[in-house]
Amino acid sequence: MPTAISGIFPALTTPFEKGELSVNHLKSNIEKFERIDLSGYLVLGSTGEGVLMNDRESLKALETVRASASEGKTIIAGTGMQATRATIEFTNLAASAGADYGLVVTPFYFKRQMTAENLENYYREVADKSKVPILMYNVPKFTGLDLPIKAILSLAEHPNIAGLKESSGNLALIGELMKTCPEDFALFQGTGSVLFTSLMLGVRGGILALSNMAPAETVEIFKRVHAGEIEKAREIQMRLITLNERVVNTYGVPGIKCAMDLLGYFGGHPRPPLQPVPQEIKNSIGQLLKDASLL
């Protein structure tokens, strides 16, 4: 089993300018994030619009984050494709570009055929042939399917599968996995609204879209829980719940990018077919940030 990782990782947005990847703005965002005690970064995840990018610009974004991050920061790259072979190839390209881990989403296009057995075979082959450890990624709101617990428990024993990013928001599943998975299997919460509760259940940390808007606060929740300062951690989480539910879960990537612009990062426009939020929603996001004491 690979060395376990822990802590808070922003699921980074990808800055575009005039429709093209903006390396300079990506560097600038990382410079700001580096002021906070984050464990590392996820590049090319769902929040990073990785599915809307080609391999060339995806690898360029990854190389930029690797070069901009300080020594010791862990870099995770979203590398899941629909085909097993394509996933293996891109995961190994990402490893060469500086990724420490590959985050592999469940293949979903032929979802009726994505049985527990087929998904287990997929992850085993990817893990067998990947040059870096992988994290499985369960995100049913985008894929339309859940990674079955039977498959997770079986795959948790694989020596090159380091853990799981669990983004269904199902706390009962988190609890069941914490009871039954090996101790060195790194379970990460992917839903910012339940970070505190998941940490109380014993997860290793969070890989969160919310951490683009509240990086210091999500790190503080993590640290306070581990220090036994439970009430303070709970207070911070309660302050962020509505922000996460409205911006991340309702407005999505365009809303997150708008919030980042308001907070002094570069969010910019999403890549079409996604569109920027209208002015009315911008105003609403500004108020949500004020209500959360972030603006």
Catalytically active residues are 165
Asked if 81 and 137 count as a contact pair (C-beta separation under 8 A), the reply is no
Nearest one of 103, 101, 107 to 83, comparing CA atoms? 107
Give the strands of the sheet with 205-208, arranged side by side: 7-10, 205-208, 186-189, 161-166, 134-138, 101-105, 74-78, 40-43
Q: Which residues contact 102 (CB under 8 A, 6 or more apart)?
A: 76, 77, 78, 79, 80, 91, 94, 95, 126, 130, 132, 133, 134, 135
- Cα angle, residue 19 at apex, residues 17 and 23 outer, rounded to 5°: 45
For residue 2, report the phi and psi dihedrals to the nearest 5 degrees: -60, 160
Residue type, 158: H
SS3 of the chain: helix, strand, coil, percent, to 5: 50, 15, 35
